[in-house]
Amino acid sequence: GAVVSQHPSWVICKSGTSVKIECRSLDFQATTMFWYRQFPKQSLMLMATSNEGSKATYEQGVEKDKFLINHASLTLSTLTVTSAHPEDSSFYICSAAGGTSAYNEQFFGPGTRLTVL
Amino acid sequence: AQSVTQLGSHVSVSEGALVLLRCNYSSSVPPYLFWYVQYPNQGLQLLLKYTSAATLVKGINGFEAEFKKSETSFHLTKPSAHMSDAAEYFCAVTISGGYNKLIFGAGTRLAVHP
């Protein structure tokens, strides 16, 4: 199957700082990437959908100015959490779709654990 | 709009016993259905998918699921549980026509005890 990586796998930052998370499709071209967040013992919540070269589409209730998404190439999307606060602490997971996917299949990254102090 | 309901947030079975994780969906158009597994602090791994072909779908690690349109169900089963099956399982739905977003169920935590 297709491989998606995320970097970093975990990050700890101080309140008020910004954090960038990278999502890469390693062996296929991802025309669409998705960003999810997952709170402990909960399901995945879709934050936004990004198509290469276009502005991301955010889900209702997700602040686009706080969670900046860039999908500048077919293999890389980034999520920047700006002015992070403790309530932004969560597990962030990206997924990518494209290449030979034929059935809307998304390939998931391993996730990034963000802790804001 | 599509939705997914997973009955039972926690399921506990003995090693070697049958595993049954329930998933019911709601969709106004023919759905695509997925089961994913998540181990602690990891991303999601696809177990199997239904994409309007065979209604009985076999996946990895001995899991299978049957699409039943009349019951709007897509339950996940495994004949004999293994300790390594302990994890969180998510059912998800989407519809055909491009890379539409997945709608996830709340998840079911499977515990396997000796």
Query: Of the candidates B44, B99, B106, which has its C-beta nearest A108's C-beta?
Result: B44
Angstrom distance (rounded) from CA B83 to CA B98: 37
Cβ separation of B46 and A103 shorter than 8 Å? no
Confidence (pLDDT) at A99: 57
- Ramachandran category for residue B106: left, alpha or beta (phi over 0 → left; psi -120 to 50 → alpha): alpha
> Can you give the pLDDT at residue B15?
97
The pLDDT value given to residue B65:
97
Nearest neighbour of B42 by CB, restricted to A1, A97, A110: A110
Nearest-Cα distance to chain A for B25, in Å, is 16
pLDDT band at residue A55 using 50, 70 and 90 as cut-offs: confident
What distance in Å separates the CA atoms of residue A94 and residue A79, rounded to the nearest whole number?
9
Minimal Cα distance from A37: which residue of B?
B43
Q: What is the pLDDT of residue B71?
A: 94
Distance CA A67, CA A80 (A): 6
Q: How far is residue B25's CA from residue A65's CA, in Å, rounded to a whole number?
A: 34
The whole-number average pLDDT for the span B50-64 is: 91
Task: Report the C-alpha gap between B26 and B4 in whole angstroms.
Answer: 6
Main-chain phi, psi angles of A91, to 5 degrees: -105, 120
Pick from B42, B96, B109: CB nearest A111: B42
Is B99 in contact with A103 (Cβ distance < 8 A)?
A: no
User: pLDDT of B72-108, one tens digit each?
Assistant: 999 999 999 999 999 999 999 986 655 668 889 999 9
| Cis omega (within 30 of 0) for bond into A8 | yes
Is A66 in CB contact (< 8 Å) with chain B?
no
Which residue of chain A is at minimal alpha-carbon distance from B42?
Answer: A110
Q: Which residues of B touch A (CB under 8 A)?
A: 32, 34, 36, 41-46, 49, 51, 90, 94-96, 98-102, 104-107, 109
Q: Give the count of alpha carbons within 13 A of A51, CB side only.
A: 7
Percent of chain B with pLDDT over 70: 95
* DSSP β-ladder status, B73-78 and B64-68: antiparallel
Backbone angles phi, psi at B85, to 5 degrees: -80, -10
